[in-house]
Amino acid sequence: MHQQTSWNKNRAVEIIRVHLGKPGATLPMLHAVQEAFGCIPEAALPMIADALNITRAEVHGIVTFYHDFRAEPPGRHVLKVCRAEACQSMGGEALAEHVLSKLGVDWGKTTKNGTVTVEPIYCLGLCACAPSVQWDGQPIGRATPAKLDRLIDEAVS
Amino acid sequence: MTLRIFVPRDSGARAVGADQVARAIAIAARTQGVAPEIIRTGSRGLYWLEPLVEVELAGVRHAFGPVTAEDAPILVRSLTQDAVHPLALGPIDETPYLKRQTRLTFARCGVINPLSLDDYRAHGGFTGLENAQSLVPERIVEAVVESGLRGRGGAGFPTGIKWRTVAATVAPQKYIVCNADEGDSGTFADRMIMEGDPFMLIEGMIISGWAVGATRGYIYIRSEYPDAIATMNAAVTLARNAGYLGPRFDMDVRVGAGAYVCGEETALLESLEGKRGVVRAKPPLPAYHGLFGAPTVVNNVLTLAAVPFILSEGAQAYANFGLGRSRGTMPIQLAGNVRRPGLFETGFGITLGELVDDIGGGAASGRPVRAVQVGGPLGAYFPRALFNTPFDYEAFSACDGLIGHGGIVVFDDTVDMAKQARFAMEFCAIESCGKCTPCRIGSTRGAEVIDRIRNGEDRSSNLKLVTELCETMKLGSLCALGGFTPYPVMSAITHFPEDFGSGPSQIAAE
Residue-wise pLDDT tens digits, B124-133: 999 999 999 9
The tally of CA atoms less than 13 A away on the side-chain side of residue A92 is 29
| B100 lies in some domain | no
How many other β-carbons are positioned within 10 Å of the β-carbon of residue B383?
16
> Do residues B203 and B310 lie in contact, with contact meaning Cβ atoms separated by under 8 Å?
no
- Cis peptide preceding B96, ω within 30 of 0: no
| Partners of A121 in the β-ladder | A82
Residue B82 and residue B54 in one domain: yes
> Do residues A84 and A122 lie in contact, with contact meaning Cβ atoms separated by under 8 Å?
yes
How many other β-carbons are positioned within 10 Å of the β-carbon of residue B154?
25
| B351 lies in some domain | yes
Residue B310 and residue B328 in one domain: no
Check whether B155 has a pLDDT greater than 90: no
Point out the least confidently predicted range of A126-130, B455-459, B477-481, B504-508: B504-508
Q: Is the ipTM of this complex over 0.95?
A: yes
With 0-12 / 13-18 / 19 or more C-beta atoms within 10 angstroms meaning exposed / middle / buried, residue B102 is middle
Residue-wise pLDDT for B337-393, tens only, equals 999 999 999 999 999 999 999 999 999 999 999 999 999 999 999 999 999 999 999
Report the pLDDT averaged over residues B399-404.
Answer: 95
DSSP structure string for A88-124: HTTTHHHHHHHHHHHHT--TT-B-TTS-EEEEEES--
A-B contacts at Cβ under 8 angstroms: 157
Distance in angstroms (rounded) separating the CA atoms of residues A65 and B270: 12
CATH number at residue B446: 1.20.1440.230
- Chunk chain A into consecutive blocks of 10 residues (it has 157) and report each block's average pLDDT, rounded to whole numbers: 78 97 97 97 97 97 98 96 98 98 97 96 98 97 97 89
Distance in angstroms (rounded) separating the CA atoms of residues B283 and B404: 22
Residues B12, A139: C-beta atoms closer than 8 Å: yes
Å between B184 CA and nearest CA of chain A: 7
Check whether B439 has a pLDDT greater than 70: yes
Residue B385 and residue B427 in one domain: no
Å between B315 CA and nearest CA of chain A: 31
B259–chain A Cβ distance below 8 A for any pair: yes
Segment 156-215 of chain B within 8 Å of chain A by CB = 182-188, 190-191
Residues A86, B336: C-beta atoms closer than 8 Å: yes
CB-nearest partner of A141 from B12, B271, B427: B12
A49–chain B Cβ distance below 8 A for any pair: no
| B509 lies in some domain | no
> Do residues B339 and A47 lie in contact, with contact meaning Cβ atoms separated by under 8 Å?
no
Residue B379 and residue B490 in one domain: no
Residue B250 and residue B219 in one domain: yes
Residue B306 and residue B340 in one domain: no
Provide, as residue numbers in chain A, all residues whose Cβ is less than 8 Å from the Cβ of B364. 90
Q: Is B80 or B443 the better-scoring residue by pLDDT? A: B443
- B245: three-class secondary structure by DSSP: coil
Residue-wise pLDDT for B4-30, tens only, equals 999 999 999 999 999 999 999 999 999
> Do residues B422 and B415 lie in contact, with contact meaning Cβ atoms separated by under 8 Å?
no
Q: Which helix (H) or strand (E) holds A16?
A: helix A9-20
Residues B256, A27: C-beta atoms closer than 8 Å: yes
A16–chain B Cβ distance below 8 A for any pair: no
Three-point CA angle B78, B84, B85, nearest 5°: 70
Residue B168 and residue B245 in one domain: yes
Report the pLDDT averaged over residues B445-466.
Answer: 96
A53–chain B Cβ distance below 8 A for any pair: no
Residue B258 and residue B303 in one domain: yes
pLDDT of residue B510: 40
Q: Which residues contact B127 (CB under 8 A, 6 or more apart)?
A: B308, B311, B312
Report the pLDDT averaged over residues B195-216.
Answer: 98
Check whether B509 has a pLDDT greater than 50: no
Check whether B506 has a pLDDT greater than 90: no
Check whether B507 has a pLDDT greater than 70: no
pLDDT of residue B82: 75
φ, ψ dihedrals at B327, nearest 5°: -100, 155
CB-nearest partner of A85 from B227, B377, B433: B377
CB-nearest partner of B257 from A66, A127, A128: A66
Distance in angstroms (rounded) separating the CA atoms of residues B152 and A20: 34
Residues B257, A87: C-beta atoms closer than 8 Å: no
| B508 lies in some domain | no
Residues B430, A31: C-beta atoms closer than 8 Å: no
Distances (CA, A) of B352 to B46, B258, B372, B406, B490: 19, 31, 9, 11, 19
pLDDT of residue B83: 78
| B112 lies in some domain | no
Taking all residues of chain B, what is their mean pLDDT, rounded to a whole number? 96
A128–chain B Cβ distance below 8 A for any pair: yes
CATH number at residue B29: 3.40.30.10
Distance in angstroms (rounded) separating the CA atoms of residues B384 and B255: 39
Distances (CA, A) of A132 to B19, B144, B369: 17, 37, 21
Q: Judging by DSSP bridges, how do beta strands B175-180 and B216-221 pair with one another? A: parallel
Residues B274, A27: C-beta atoms closer than 8 Å: yes
Pick from A153, A155, A146, A148: which is nearest to A134 by CA? A148
| B108 lies in some domain | no
| B165 lies in some domain | yes
Distance in angstroms (rounded) separating the CA atoms of residues B447 and B438: 13
Provide, as residue numbers in chain A, all residues whose Cβ is less than 8 Å from the Cβ of B277. 65-66
> Do residues B241 and B207 lie in contact, with contact meaning Cβ atoms separated by under 8 Å?
no
Q: How many domains does chain B have?
A: 4
DSSP state of A129: G
Residue B422 and residue B466 in one domain: yes
Distance in angstroms (rounded) separating the CA atoms of residues B191 and B12: 9
Helical pair B137-147 and B198-212, crossing angle rounded to 10 deg = 120
Check whether B200 has a pLDDT greater than 60: yes
CB-nearest partner of B185 from A66, A67, A85: A85
pLDDT category at B84 given cuts 50, 70, 90 is confident
- Note if the pTM is more than 0.90: yes
Check whether B502 has a pLDDT greater than 70: no
> Do residues B97 and B83 lie in contact, with contact meaning Cβ atoms separated by under 8 Å?
no
Among B294, B319, B344, which residue terminates a domain?
B319
Among B396, B412, B428, which residue terminates a domain?
B412
A146–chain B Cβ distance below 8 A for any pair: no
Pick from B131, B463, B144, B150: which is nearest to B323 by CA? B150
Check whether B504 has a pLDDT greater than 90: no
Residue B396 and residue B376 in one domain: yes
With 0-12 / 13-18 / 19 or more C-beta atoms within 10 angstroms meaning exposed / middle / buried, residue B413 is exposed
Distances (CA, A) of B276 to A20, A50, B272, B435: 18, 18, 9, 11
Residue B86 and residue B175 in one domain: no
Residue-wise pLDDT for B223-259, tens only, equals 999 999 999 999 999 999 999 999 999 999 999 999 9
Report the pLDDT averaged over residues B19-42.
Answer: 96
Among B253, B288, B319, which residue terminates a domain?
B319
φ, ψ dihedrals at B439, nearest 5°: -80, -50
Check whether B508 has a pLDDT greater than 70: no
Residue B235 and residue B288 in one domain: yes
> Do residues A129 and B47 lie in contact, with contact meaning Cβ atoms separated by under 8 Å?
yes
Residue-wise pLDDT for B308-346, tens only, equals 999 999 999 999 998 888 999 999 999 999 999 999 999
pLDDT category at B2 given cuts 50, 70, 90 is confident
Distance in angstroms (rounded) separating the CA atoms of residues A8 and A13: 9
pLDDT of residue B501: 85
DSSP state of B354: I
Residues B188, A130: C-beta atoms closer than 8 Å: no
Provide, as residue numbers in chain B, all residues whose Cβ is less than 8 Å from the Cβ of A86. 185-186, 335-336, 407, 409
Segments forming the whole domain that contains residue B390: 322-412
Q: Is B78 or A3 the better-scoring residue by pLDDT? A: B78
Q: Which residues contact B107 (CB under 8 A, 6 or more apart)?
A: B123, B124, B309
Pick from B159, B235, B224, B155: which is nearest to B194 by CA? B235
| B332 lies in some domain | yes
CATH number at residue B341: 3.10.20.600
> Do residues B378 and B487 lie in contact, with contact meaning Cβ atoms separated by under 8 Å?
yes
Query: From edge to edge, which strands make up the β-sheet containing B4-8?
Result: B37-41, B4-8, B53-57, B60-64, B88-91
Contacts made by residues A142-146, CB under 8 angstroms, sequence distance 24+: A142/B15, A142/B16, A143/A95, A144/A95, A145/A95, A145/A98, A145/A99
